[in-house]
Homo-oligomer: A and B are copies of this chain.
Amino acid sequence: MLSKSRLKYIKSLQLKKYRKEEQCFVVEGARSVSELFQSDFQITIVAATPLFIEQHRGNLARKGMEVIPVSERELTATGTLQSNDSALAIAKMKPNTPPVFQPGDFALVLDDIRDPGNLGTIIRTADWFGIRHIIASNETADLYNPKTIRATMGSFLRVKLFYTTLTEYLQSAGMIYGAFLKGTNIHELGFANGGFIVIGNESNGISTDLAAMVHERVMIPGYGGAESLNAGVATAIILDNLRRSKK
């Protein structure tokens, strides 16, 4: 059973303020917690059902990890999932360090993606297409928000985010692509050998300062009445076209 203080601590991590103070975040559900065991994230607490504990005995025997047996009802009440019949873990955040690229790497650049669900979907999509690095503006949603972590479906373990001031970071960058409503048709674009792909804010698109730094504006051809696409959807279509053009 969770003590009152442990319950309070875990719940506090739903707020960015306390995550920042504690440098810790919550991972929920059997699949995500299992994947967390396989990663290099440092885990401090696992609250899990007796069955989950039995099934993951080896992974739970690590040094410095507190294992707390709980009921399904306690788990659900403690976390943010609609129901959780397995486990919840607390892990240490990673330091915010700039990525190290390999030749030919592409990275996503997120210009104020505000919605944690959108951010999580973008991370999951980046992972699917083998994009390992995302550069995010300081105003982008928090990677460690429970909604972001959930929407990544475990992909936060493989894709690295770096928060920074984009206009400074991209000053010396190579090729910069940006998604706009007008530009080169993505179906006809020959992508360079590596570069950055800027995705704009959900409501306002790419900010003026950053738009001025984009070398190639790309657009996804539309055929209907919608004025724009969801940011995660636009990212997915661009990355699919990128991989297709590189075959």
A111 interfacial contact with B, CB 8 Å:
no
Comparing A55-63, A121-129, A193-201, the segment that makes contact with chain B is A121-129
CA distance A112 to B26 in the complex (A): 29
Determine if A128 and B243 form an interchain contact, defined as CB atoms under 8 angstroms apart: no
Determine if B117 and A225 form an interchain contact, defined as CB atoms under 8 angstroms apart: no
Which residues of the other chain, B, contact A240 by a CB distance below 8 angstroms? 220, 237, 240-241
Comparing A134-142, A163-171, A172-180, A227-235, the segment that makes contact with chain B is A227-235
Which residues of the other chain, B, contact A247 by a CB distance below 8 angstroms? 187
Query: In A145-163, which residues have CB < 8 Å from any B CB?
Result: 151, 153-155, 157-158
Report the interface size class on chain A.
35 or more
Q: Which of A154, A157, A232, A233 has the most CB of B within 10 A?
A: A233
15 further A-B contacts with Cβ under 8 Å, apart from A154-B226, A158-B225, are A117-B117, A121-B230, A121-B233, A124-B226, A124-B230, A125-B229, A125-B230, A127-B224, A127-B226, A129-B222, A153-B227, A153-B228, A220-B240, A232-B232, A240-B240
